[in-house]
Structure 1
Amino acid sequence: MVDHKHLAVLKQGVNYWNDWRQNNPDVIPDLSKVDLKGIDLKRINLRGANLSKTDFTGAYLRDADFRRANFYETLFDNANLNRTNFSVTKLSGASLNEANFMEANFIEADFSGCQFYKANFSKANFSKAKLKVDKIAKLNFTQAILIEANLSEADLRESNFCEADLRESNLSRANLEESNLSRADFSQADLSGSNLARTQALSTQFQQAILTGACLEDWNINSDTEFSNVICDYIYLRRNRRERRPSSGNFATGEFTLLFQKTLETIDLIFRDGINWDAFAYSFNRVEIANINLQLDVQSIEKKKNEIILVRVSVASDADKAKIYNDFIQGYEFAHKILEEQYEVKLKEKDILVADREGQIVKYEKQINRLLDIVVQQGSVQKALVEHPRKVSNYDLRNSLIAGGIIDAETVQSNQIGGSIQNPDTQENPS
């Protein structure tokens, strides 16, 4: 449980706390289960402290020292932890969802049992760290250092490793599906049995990396993707260990490179929410004009699982695929946004038109009902004249519309009916 004396010291402010820590180096602070949500503790010294179940949600902890602290079930969700120091620390059970750890120090840290969905680890140092990721996390490792890090069997789908340093890291059986590996360094990394399906590996370094048993379904590489001295006996072209290459035995010398020579001449465009073909045509023509000498051509269109559509575009082997890809995506997103806005306007106009038409329909329905009432009344009048020619004035015709006029049965004017009136019983001519 929390030591209330320690909590009282903390309430005096960060500077007071840090001075107290310096003067009491043997004291192990206990702030377990304390609610510190949203607090500003920039540069605080919590080294070795008991922070079990402490709530730092949304806190500002930039440059804090957390080395060797106890983080059992600690909450760091949405917290700012830029340049914090977690080296040689166990964060077992901690929650780091959407926290910002930019440039943080995680050397030899252990993340077993942590939750860190969409956490930002850009430029952080994970050298020799252990990251056990059991479910999809969508992490940002842009320019992070993961030298000799252990990411074996980690679920790193849709994560960003752009320009990250993963030399000699262990990614065996890791799931990197749809991740961005562009310009990352996997030299001497162990990627055996990993899932690299639909990854972006443009200008990525795989020198001396182990790729045996990896799934390379629809991954995107270019002429600058480096495979020198790769260790690879066989790979799979489809997930779940399907379409083995070679179908039996192992690759001969140089065979792996030949297998992916065609891949070097294509760009894979992946659409997860369907394709706006007008936006596609606009962006493709724009890129084609800008790269008129590169012979761009749509090679194939495939519908994958979960409504994913893959458009494969062939290009010259010496083309800058990364630039072409980025230019196309920017153009497509721009055109898609403009077309969506136009669609919204047309939809509103349509709603106004529909509402106007509905009003007209109601008006027409009233007129039709009125006409039907008139027809019924006229039929009744005709029947009454036939059956009771002398008693027509006793029939209630007030406010009835006949021949364009209003008839009051008590004061009938002949010019309201539009014809002459004759009464055979009086034998008079009403001229």
Structure 2
Amino acid sequence: MANEEHLSLLKQGVNSWNQWREDTPTVIPDISGANLNQMNLSEANLSGADLQRVILHGANLTAANLHNATLVNADMSGVELNAADLSNANLSSANLFGAYLSGANLSGADLSDVQLNRSDLSGVNLSGANLSHVNLLGADLSGANLTSTVLSHADLSRAELSRAELKQANLSQANLSEARLMGANLTEATLNEANLSRARLNRADLSDATLVGATLVGATLVGTKLNRAKLSNVDLTGTNLSGANLSSAVLSDANFQDANLSGANLKDAHLENTTLEGADLSQVTMPDGSVHE
């Protein structure tokens, strides 16, 4: 339960609250379990605060400082968190359905098992954050920084990830079906057994990425960089890879049935037991450097 004195101070307004925080820097605010529905907490200093199970539905926390705060099981649906600092915060099992987090800093935050479906996370810094098993269905992550972020088992179906920075991210067994990843940076990312069926990855960079056992049925990878990528046992049935760079990629046991590989670069690629039945190989640079007619 919340400390009644702390809760009373917070309800006096952000200016009074921030002054109290400045005057008592060693006190850890306890607002746990409080009902803060629709409150205006814009620019409030809530760093390190205990906000477990707090109800913040529809509250305004624009540019608020929530660094290192504990928000486990908090109801933050529809909350305004644009430009807020949530770095190193613990938001595990919180509800952020429909939240607005554009430009927020979530680096190092724990967002495991969080509901973020249809949330606005465009331009957000999530580098090094834990988003395993997170629901991001239909979320907007365009231009977001997800470097080294853990997204294993996350639901990113129909999510917008165009131009997102996903270098060295862990997306193993994630659901990225129908996601938009045009121009995204996925170099050295891990996508083992991920579902990328019908995803759009045009001009994305997957150099040195690992996609062992992934599904890319019907995906679009026009002009995509996959050089040195590990794609063994990947299902690429009906995939459009025209103009893609697959040089030195490991494609053993991969299925390219009915795929469009026209103009792709397969120089030095490993094609052991690879299925190419029905694939369009026109103008493909083959592993030996020759160009297929």
Q: Counterpart of 1:34? A: 34
1:174 — aligned with what? 174
Does structure 1 residue 75 correspond to structure 2 residue 75? yes
Q: Determine if contact 1:96/1:115 at 8 Å carries over to the other structure.
A: yes
Alpha carbons of 1:60 and 1:206: their partners in 2 closer, same or farther (altered >3 Å)?
same
Residue type of the partner of 1:86?
L
Is residue 242 of structure 2 the alignment partner of residue 263 of structure 1?
no
Tell whether 2:128 aligns with 1:131.
Answer: no
Deviations along 1:108-160, one digit per CA (max 9) or x if unpaired, are 11112222221111100111111023556322111000000011121211111
Relative distance call for 1:136 and 1:169 in structure 2 (3 A) is: closer
State the Cα RMSD in Å: 2.6
Q: In structure 2, what is the equivalent of residue 102 of structure 1?
A: 102
The CA deviation string for residues 174-198 of structure 1, in whole angstroms up to 9 with x for no partner, is 1111100111010110112111100
Partner of 1:64: 64
Greater RCO between the two (CA within 8 Å, min separation 6)? 2
Deviation at 1:234, TM superposition (A): 2.6
- Distance in 1 between the 2:50 and 2:232 partners? 49
CA distance in 2, matches of 1:165, 1:138: 18
Aligned twin of 1:217: 217
- 8 Å contact kept, 2:228–2:248: no
Q: What CA distance in whole angstroms lies between the structure 2 residues aligned with 1:254 and 1:3?
A: 58
d(CA) in 2 for partners of 1:90 and 1:118?
21
Residues 42 and 255 of structure 1, relative CA distance in 2, 3 Å threshold: closer
Report the CA distance between 1:262 and its aligned residue: 4.9
Give the 5 Å matches for 1:239-250: none
| Corresponding residue of 1:229 | 228
Superposition deviation, residue 252 in structure 1 = 11
Whether the 8 Å CA contact 2:233–2:255 is kept in 1: the answer is: no
Match of 2:112 in 1: 112
Match of 2:24 in 1: 24
Counterparts of residues 230-379 of structure 1 (less than 5 Å): 230-237=229-236, 256=251, 259=256, 262-264=259-261
Q: Which residue of the partner structure matches residue 163 of structure 2?
A: 163
Q: CA deviation at 1:11?
A: 2.4
Which whole-Å CA distance do the structure 1 matches of 2:52 and 2:249 have between them? 54
Sort the Cα spacing of 1:167 and 1:175 in 2 relative to 1 into closer, same or farther, 3 A.
same
- Counterpart for residue 87 of structure 2: 87
The 2-side partners of 1:252 and 1:259 are apart by: 16
The structure where strand makes up a greater share of residues is 1
Contact 1:221-1:264 within 8 A present in 2 as well: no
Change in Cα spacing, 1:252 to 1:77, as seen in structure 2 (3 Å) is closer
Matching residue's letter, 1:89: A
C-alpha separation in 2, matches of 1:187 and 1:128: 15
Of all paired residues, the percent bearing the same amino acid is 32
2:145 is aligned to: 145
AA at the equivalent of 1:225: T
- Is residue 114–residue 135 contact of structure 2 (8 Å, CA) maintained in 1? no
Q: Which runs of 5+ in 1 are unaligned?
A: 239-250, 267-313, 318-431
TM-score normalised over the length of structure 2: 0.80
**Larger Rg belongs to:** 1
Structure 2: distance between partners of 1:134 and 1:43: 27
> 1:221·1:263 contact (CA, 8 Å) conserved in 2?
no
* Structure 1 counterpart of 2:119, one-letter code: A
Deviation of 1:260 (Å): 8.8
Between Structure 1 and Structure 2, the one with more helix by share is 1
The residue type paired with residue 156 of structure 1 is L
Q: 1:48 to 1:262 in 2, by over 3 A?
A: same
1:156/1:175 contact within 8 Å kept: yes
* Cα distance in 1 for residues equivalent to 2:60 and 2:8: 20
Tell me the equivalent position of 1:199. 199
**CA offsets, 1:40-68, max 9 Å, x none?**
11110011111122111111111101112
Q: Count how many residue pairs are aligned between Structure 1 and Structure 2.
A: 256
Partner residue, 1:370: none
